[in-house]
Amino acid sequence: MWKFYQPADIVFGAGNAEKIAEIMEGRNLDKALIVADPFTEKCGLAKKVMDASAGKVLGIISEVEPNPSIQNVDACIAKAKELGAESIIAIGGGSAMDCAKSTAAGYKLGLNGAALLAGAPITDALPVIAIPTTAGTGSEVTAGAVISDKEKGIKAAIFGPAIFPVLAIVDPELTYTCPPSVTASSGIDVLAHALDALTSVKASPATDALAVRAAKMVFENLEKAYLDGNDKAARDNMSEACVVAGLAFSQTGTTGSHACSYILTSKFGIPHGEACAFTLDSWFRENAKVRPQLNEFAKMMGFSDAKEVADEVAKLRSRLNLRSKLSEIGVTEADLDEIAASSSASGNMTNNIAKIGIGGIRRLFAEKA
């Protein structure tokens, strides 16, 4: 038995961000607060969307850090209350969307960021409109958000169907100005979402089809977008791959590569996508031992088998100038026990089809020496 629940209304196409008023009107959405990162406001995009909203956007808040904190969430909730917001618009990458979703839930439920991080049930939220500016997180079509208590060193995901965005406006033009480093890290995250979806205990025929499609598109387009940011076709295809991968992992959750990424980000400062890519090839090899069907999926992507997919992940990582060795990310042999234990304890590790334990996880990292 399998099921597929996806309530997000997706509007895909160049120039759609400028049609925000029309799109919101058609869905009875009004009185919105824009939650953005500082760059999105500084470059004028948030203001541009506000100006195009025909008065439907009441204000902008942009104090959102990478890996948003509970303090960011609390500030956004306070701003939403001040304005009397009835909806939240997230503009930016994953951090803006995570903060916006958390804000929508906290506002509606009367909770602060700390309560959400502590695991308070997310049973309701203001409507969220997601407008991604990177081809990466897929957060515009998922029911999760990641927030942090940086004073306590806690970073965790919160989940609930109530924080599925009601509307995803995916405008590939907004990704055209992404610098190469962001294109690489966010784009490899799309690949991690696709391959993780294929290696989840919750995988289904529907998610497999979406994940294979997304992975193939990444292999065919990411390097082109990285090398030439003006390659509009590659940019557009990466935006599509991001949404398609998001649709897949919105149902399956993520698996080993993501479970192993969190401590690399929180303790060693590695950007999320790059941190996921660090063990992505190793996990695909391990999972192919448990799910031989990955070899058939590999052929659909244009490869001979799962091993060749994993090999190409490693090669692509190198061509994108993403780090592949422990020494490059500041990890030593003495760190491996902590990294393995932390990765093993991540909730999404239970989704992974290969059960290799703490010792196996340590081995995967040790192979990166």
Do residues 91 and 211 both lie within one domain?
A: no
Q: What is the pLDDT of residues 57-79, one digit of tens each?
A: 999 999 899 889 999 999 999 99
Q: What is the pLDDT of residues 269-300, one digit of tens each?
A: 999 999 999 999 999 999 999 999 999 999 99
CATH label of the domain that carries residue 194 = 1.20.1090.10
What confidence score (pLDDT) does residue 301 get?
Answer: 98
Beta-carbon contacts of residue 220 (< 8 Å; ≥ 6 apart): 237, 302
> In the chain, which ranges are continuous DSSP H helix?
20-25, 38-42, 45-51, 70-83, 94-109, 113-117, 180-198, 205-227, 232-252, 256-259, 262-266, 272-290, 293-301, 306-319, 336-345, 357-366
Do residues 322 and 336 both lie within one domain?
A: yes
Domain boundary among 151, 174, 197: 174
In this structure, what token pair is assigned to residue 109?
A: 């439920």
Q: What is the pLDDT of residues 220-259, one digit of tens each?
A: 999 999 999 999 999 999 999 999 999 999 999 999 999 9
Do residues 156 and 194 both lie within one domain?
A: no
Instruction: Give the alpha-carbon dihedral of 270, 352, 254, 65, to 10 degrees.
Output: -30
Give the confidence band of 219 by pLDDT, cuts at 50, 70, 90.
very high
Domain contains 158: yes
Do residues 141 and 285 both lie within one domain?
A: no
Do residues 209 and 293 both lie within one domain?
A: yes
Closest of 20, 178, 159, 21 to residue 98, by C-alpha: 159
For the segment 306-311, the average pLDDT, to the nearest whole number, is 98
Domain contains 64: yes
Closest of 263, 292, 266, 291 to residue 279, by C-alpha: 263
Note down the domain range covering 233. Answer: 178-366
Domain boundary among 133, 148, 174: 174
Do residues 75 and 183 both lie within one domain?
A: no
**Average pLDDT over the chain, rounded to an integer:** 96
What confidence score (pLDDT) does residue 153 get?
Answer: 79
Do residues 193 and 167 both lie within one domain?
A: no
Q: Does the CA dihedral 35-36-42-46 come out positive or negative?
A: negative
Domain contains 345: yes
Give the confidence band of 266 by pLDDT, cuts at 50, 70, 90.
confident
What confidence score (pLDDT) does residue 9 get?
Answer: 95
Domain contains 122: yes
Do residues 53 and 183 both lie within one domain?
A: no
What confidence score (pLDDT) does residue 280 get?
Answer: 98
Work out how many domains the chain is built from and give that number: 2
CATH label of the domain that carries residue 48 = 3.40.50.1970
Domain contains 4: no
In this structure, what token pair is assigned to residue 167?
A: 């509307």
- pLDDT at 155 > cutoff 90: no
What confidence score (pLDDT) does residue 67 get?
Answer: 85
Do residues 23 and 68 both lie within one domain?
A: yes
Domain boundary among 119, 148, 174: 174
What confidence score (pLDDT) does residue 150 get?
Answer: 86
Do residues 128 and 257 both lie within one domain?
A: no
For the segment 194-199, the average pLDDT, to the nearest whole number, is 98
Eight-class DSSP state of 349: G
Domain contains 2: no
pTM to 2 decimal places:
0.94
In three-state secondary structure terms, 87 is strand
What confidence score (pLDDT) does residue 152 get?
Answer: 86
Q: What is the pLDDT of residues 78-132, one digit of tens each?
A: 999 999 999 999 999 999 999 999 999 999 999 999 999 999 999 999 999 999 9
